[in-house]
Structure 1
Amino acid sequence: MRDAATWFGNYSRDHQNPTNQLIHWICVPAITWTVVAFVWLIPVPHWLGRPGLWAVLAMFLAFCFYYYRLSRVIGLAMAGAFVALALFTDMIYGSIGFTGLMRLAIGVFVVAWIGQFIGHKIEGRRPSFFTDIQYLLIGPAWLMSKALGRFGVSY
């Protein structure tokens, strides 16, 4: 597994344009949330747990096997983000139910990916994940590293 500095350096090279970076600050968290929401919607047998169990397990596995191994600081920050995403998704699910959450997640997913492709058109480079699918996991971590850096925390 490559180290965080290598991943983030490569990702940064593909994201130099300030407009594309701004689009990523909006669209990457939105896409991350939609993935949580889609996994949240996978039915859970009543005897096994409540709605969202699979999403919580997926976030836990991503934390344990990817983000924490990439960087402990990034891993812990991503765990906090995952908790916030789970609470947010549970609140929405409680308010608008299964169908409402599905429709909202699909809408956000489509709009966010359109935004991503517009950003890459502006950048003049194809999305990083076309070269390595792991960049779909790196995008949120890259933004987290940037956010932490604004508070003087390095990964």
Structure 2
Amino acid sequence: MNTAAESSQHATQRPIDRWFAHYSADHRNQTNQRIHVICVPAILWSVIALLWCIPTPASWMNDGFWAGVAMLATVLFYYRASRLLGLGMLAMYVLMGLLTKWIHDTYGTSTLLWLAVGVFVVAWIGQFIGHSARYENKRPSFLTDLTYLLIGPAWVLSKLYRKIGLRY
């Protein structure tokens, strides 16, 4: 049963703090957390790369247009939740976008596509191993609310922020 103080604290928390609290409750096992620190960014990059591979009409859009649209939309989501998280995610997207562009320009769309599919599959296998009975023994958070697919990358970034002493 919640006390009045707990209810009051919950009411004053930002939505991102409540999302992180719920997400953290599903990720208490240290091995699962380590897996997430590796696999969540890998999944994020693979989604960017997969979106990069969607063809665009050459006359009015560049390669990577759809990835750019998705990155912009999600940066706005993160920025609205926390300015510092939004700026951090923007920096991550710039790095991931530059890597994706380099792979695309150097090796072509087909290689980028297959690399992204491979990373996506392997990283999700890692995620489900982390949530298996051997480690966390809890369902992934996104199975209760798809918003947690967006919360995962920010949660990983928030762990980095806490480690270096930044408040998000």
TM range (shorter): over 0.9
Q: How does 1:1-155 map to 2 (within 5 A)?
A: 3-64=15-76, 66-121=77-132, 122-155=135-168
1-structure distance, mates of 2:73, 2:137: 34
Deviations 1:105-146 (A, max 9, x none): 111111000000000002000100010000000000001111
Matched-pair identity in %:
52
1-structure distance, mates of 2:104, 2:96: 12
CA drift at 1:47: 1.2
The RMSD of aligned alpha carbons is 0.9
2-structure distance, mates of 1:85, 1:6: 27
Which of the pair has more CA radius of gyration? 2
Gaps of 5+ in 2: 1-13
Structure 2 SS opposite 1:87: helix
Provide runs of 4+ in structure 1 moved above 6 Å.
none
Gaps of 5+ in 1: none
Task: Name the TM-score, length of structure 2 as normaliser.
Answer: 0.89
CA drift at 1:49: 2.4
Task: Name the TM-score, length of structure 1 as normaliser.
Answer: 0.96
